Homo-oligomer: A and B are copies of this chain.
Amino acid sequence: MTLWVRFIDGKGASACGALESAGVRRYAGERCAEPEPTDEMLPLAALTLLPPCTPSKIVALWNNFEALRAKLGKAVPAHPLYLIKAASCVAGPGAEIRRPARYAGKIAFEGELGIVIGRRCKDVTVAEAASYIGGYTCVNDVTAAEILNENGDFAQWCRAKSFDGFGCLGPAIATQLDYASERVVTRVDGVERQNYPLADMIFPPAELVSRISHDMTLLPGDVIACGTSLGVGSMRDGASVEVTIGGIGSLTNTLAPAAHELPQGQASAA
């Protein structure tokens, strides 16, 4: 099992490496496509980590955990239900999530498992799907909660979830993960807010990859965010949110205030 990371090297370029007990071993080759290990070891604490992949799309599941489905009283979906987050929303480990300048409403965190696609994938079976999964990462699927249902005619899933910084990924891509024995734990300012088992997924990873690959071509680095479960909530400006999955690590991001604050009570640009 390898834990792949991307980071900014001493010359300001993006680089690829693997976490080892002594630090990060640099690999030659940016794209983590059969990169070669080098002898260069870097101390993790000194590195600025980047998002571990650069997705062309983020497919984000809704209603994919049994416990949350039951609580909300929704039907079991017959097919994965998802929206697409703009790729421009990706943020890496440690990055600030900047509150949108024109939005003063609630911002929600959602700790999730992310599937990272390893190679181009279309119309694959469930049995084939595992070989197209490059690994797994942690996701904080951030949402401007008051935009979502602001318009009565049209649920604004894509807008509410695509602000720059609202797709937090990292810290690493674990190439192997016994997901069914792991849990997603989300802490806000150190207080546990989510702690749910990945075994509770309605459509598990191989099923998601197979089904979604019948809808669209999945490309290397694309992310399928598997959806969240109980405990979703909002975070105040300045809050630190940590999403932890055993076998992957902890993804921490802070919510920074807007660059220009709005008058009180004005929830959106509308």
Contacts and interface: CB of A to CB of B under 8 A. Distances in A.
Interface of A: 56-57, 59, 62-63, 74-75, 77-79, 81-89, 100-102, 122-123, 150-159, 162-164, 211, 214-219, 268-270
A155 to B, nearest CB: 6
Contacts of A218: 88
24 contacts: A56-B88, A63-B153, A63-B154, A74-B153, A75-B151, A75-B152, A77-B153, A79-B150, A79-B159, A81-B156, A82-B158, A83-B158, A84-B85, A88-B218, A89-B216, A100-B214, A100-B215, A101-B214, A102-B214, A154-B155, A158-B158, A163-B216, A164-B216, A164-B217
A151 to B, nearest CB: 6
A245 B89 CA distance: 32
B162 A216 contact: yes
Most chain B CB neighbours (cut-off 10 Å) among A57, A82, A153, A216: A216
A219 to B, nearest CB: 7
B216 A79 contact: no
